[in-house]
């Protein structure tokens, strides 16, 4: 994780540029929408791997309260500039610096794939969630199209390309079944998972516009082509805790 931290400290100043353009805004809004439909509004959120606070800010704008956690202090500095209503803490998601049962929602937007011990993260998420609390994760999905991405990023890293996410970080690309299984093993119930986002922000115009038009069809009828996976679950009430 030290390599991930160093990378995002270095690119924190240009990170938001990835989503300032029309393609980036559409892409990020789309995956945010998938997560927002799976969690209650107006509650207390813990956003793991919050980066520059894009999703944290979105949740606060919808009427909630939020704490963002990230290993990169550079990214957290940008998050504070973006949304001063949030609270931001440097730390690792596998060992959370919070007491038991203090959040209503735990989210993770595009950070889960970097986690070396996902079981530890989910155990910690379970611990800090109140009974009946929700978890929602959007992460990299494994399919025919994404298997080549680490190879491309490795080449770009060797060429010295300074771009967000470009590098070899041993990130894990999940299948829908695998991610849902991790949530189930952690004790969560009412698990929902689906592939999402076919129109990736890195696609050039006019290809992005064309792919965006077929994105609803892909997500519904050919989800194995989608780029990301969103999965959610609920921590059972106390009397049913541990059951799935």
Per-residue model confidence (pLDDT) at position 19: 77
pLDDT at 165: 47
Asked if 195 contacts 226 with a C-beta cutoff of 8 angstroms, the reply is: yes
Q: pLDDT below 50 — which residues of the chain? A: 151, 155-156, 164-167, 239-244
pLDDT at residue number 90: 96
The CATH class that applies to domain 2-237 reads alpha beta
Hey, is 154 helix, strand or coil? Answer: helix
| C-beta neighbour count of 209 within 10 angstroms | 13
Q: Which residue has the tokens 């077929």?
A: 214
Instruction: Give dist(CA 145, CA 163) in Å, integer.
Output: 20
């Amino acid at each position: 994780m030290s390599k991930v931290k160093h990378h995002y400290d270095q690119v924190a100043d240009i990170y938001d540029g990835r989503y300032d353009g029309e393609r980036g805004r559409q892409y990020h809004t789309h995956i945010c929408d998938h997560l927002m439909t799976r969690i209650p509004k107006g509650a207390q959120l813990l956003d793991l791997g919050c980066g520059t606070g894009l999703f944290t800010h979105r949740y606060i704008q919808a009427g909630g309260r939020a704490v963002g956690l990230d290993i990169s202090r550079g990214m957290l500095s940008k998050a504070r500039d973006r949304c001063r209503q949030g609270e931001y803490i440097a730390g690792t998601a596998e060992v959370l610096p919070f007491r038991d049962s203090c959040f209503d929602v735990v989210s993770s937007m595009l950070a889960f794939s970097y986690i070396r011990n996902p079981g530890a993260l989910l155990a910690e998420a379970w611990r800090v969630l109140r009974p009946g609390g929700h978890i929602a994760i959007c992460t990299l999905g494994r399919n025919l199209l994404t298997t080549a991405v680490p190879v491309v990023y490795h080449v770009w890293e060797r060429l010295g390309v300074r771009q967000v996410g470009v590098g070899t970080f041993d990130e894990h690309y999940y299948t829908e079944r695998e991610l849902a299984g991790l949530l189930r093993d952690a004790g969560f119930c009412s698990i929902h998972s689906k592939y999402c986002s076919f129109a990736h922000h890195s696609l050039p115009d006019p290809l992005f516009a064309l792919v965006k038009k077929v994105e609803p069809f892909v997500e519904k009828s050919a989800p194995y082509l989608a780029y990301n996976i969103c999965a959610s679950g609920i921590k059972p009430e106390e009397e049913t805790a541990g059951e799935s």
